[in-house]
A = this chain, B = another copy of it.
Amino acid sequence: MPAEFTPSPLFERVERARRRKPVIRDSHITLAHGSGGKAMRELIEGLFVEKLRNPLLEKMEDQAVFEVPSAGRSGTRLALTTDSYVVDPIFFPGGDIGKLAVCGTVNDLAMAGARPLYLSAGFILEEGFFVDDLRRVVDSMREAATEAGVEIITGDTKVVPRGSADKLFINTSGVGVLDHPVNISASRARPGDVVIVSGTLGDHGTTVMIARGELELETGIQSDTAPLHSLVAEMVDEALKRQALEDIRCLRDPTRGGVATTLNEIALAAEVCIRIEEARIPVREEVKGACELLGLDPLYVANEGKLVAIVSPALAEPLLERMRLHRYGREACLVGQVESTPAGIVVMATGFGGTRIVDMLVGEQLPRIC
């Protein structure tokens, strides 16, 4: 890692701006409000959290952990999460909307350290949608649920007239149980911690963009859509073995907005600086090439089978070794570290020896990517 970084007055200005309470200035919803980036954060903090205010929602994690009320004894901790899937096209190399809907919700539970138990599935179908396509999607959901060891136990079906929705939207919500006293939260990142990613970045988003046919590209790129609960279980087991459960500070799956946005959320929640090194960021050559053609930055592109982990420096090496034994962690690597200042900011040491701010995604890079 390069020498200690000295913040300039510019950083201080950015830092102050970051601490301002988000407000929505727009009168209309734009695609940026669903991007995973800055505008979405404003909508969530400035409207949803502001109006629905409660301690669990205010944590703004991708899931909420609550204790099951249980007469006169300490209860079981459960996690609840929800996600709607509107990906376009619904079928793409490496997956489809059904596999995505199951894996995405399984992953949101896993990122709290929860063992996924049960899912619900809500379908919004456009009149005229092919029943055979629905069969294919539901087959994928079953396969993904089997791999993830979860059951889809309740559902809902709505049909809207042609033109009132595009083909098929799926909501999956999920419940998982926390088997261990983990304490995983974006706010727990602290100076000295290290940043790990579980594999190559940008595969999912790039695949979907190519599948959309906006560029006629022939590549072998596939979506990385995968359930990460068993990788997380191995990581928790490794920490348990070393009596270092507290050393797993934060887990996040970098979906919309990519790793850049996820790291910014962590930096803001924990009031720390996250410093990554460009040279260490794992990106497949084909993805790099396709991103250049599509005008995308892989750091901002959605992943659906990867995680970011912030862990103590002591746990990092044994954890990486353990992760690399798992099929979804083979290319796990250390990409950066947590520092104290400038708080709330992500910086990247570039290949040319410089340092630049890696901001949250501004505007909408990729609509309907998940």
Chain A residues at the B interface, C-beta cutoff of 8 Å: 24, 26-35, 40, 43-44, 47-48, 51-52, 54, 56-57, 61-64, 66, 68-70, 75-76, 78, 80-86, 88, 117-118, 120-132, 134-135, 138-139, 141-142, 145, 151-161, 163-166, 169, 171, 173, 175, 177, 364, 367-368
Contacts and interface: CB of A to CB of B under 8 A. Distances in A.
B154 A47 contact: no
Contacts of A138: 47-48, 51-52
A57 B142 CA distance: 13
Contacts of A31: 127, 159, 161
A147 B126 CA distance: 33
A32 B158 CA distance: 10
Task: Report the 6 A-B pairs with minimum CB-CB distance, sorted nearest first.
Answer: A34-B159, A173-B173, A82-B120, A64-B153, A171-B171, A56-B153
A100 to B, nearest CB: 12
Contacts of A66: 117-118, 153
B29 A131 contact: yes
Given A56-B151, A126-B29, A151-B57, A84 B34 contact: no
B367 A159 contact: yes
A31 B120 CA distance: 22
Copies per complex?
A: 2
A92 B283 CA distance: 51
A59 to B, nearest CB: 9
A346 to B, nearest CB: 22
23 contacts: A24-B131, A29-B125, A29-B128, A29-B131, A30-B159, A33-B125, A66-B118, A66-B153, A70-B70, A78-B175, A80-B153, A80-B175, A82-B120, A82-B156, A82-B173, A84-B123, A84-B158, A84-B169, A86-B165, A122-B171, A122-B173, A161-B367, A171-B171
Contacts of A43: 157
Contacts of A75: 76
Nearest to A79: B154
Given A47-B134, A135-B47, A141 B82 contact: no
Highest count of chain B CB atoms <10 Å: which of A24, A35, A161 = A161
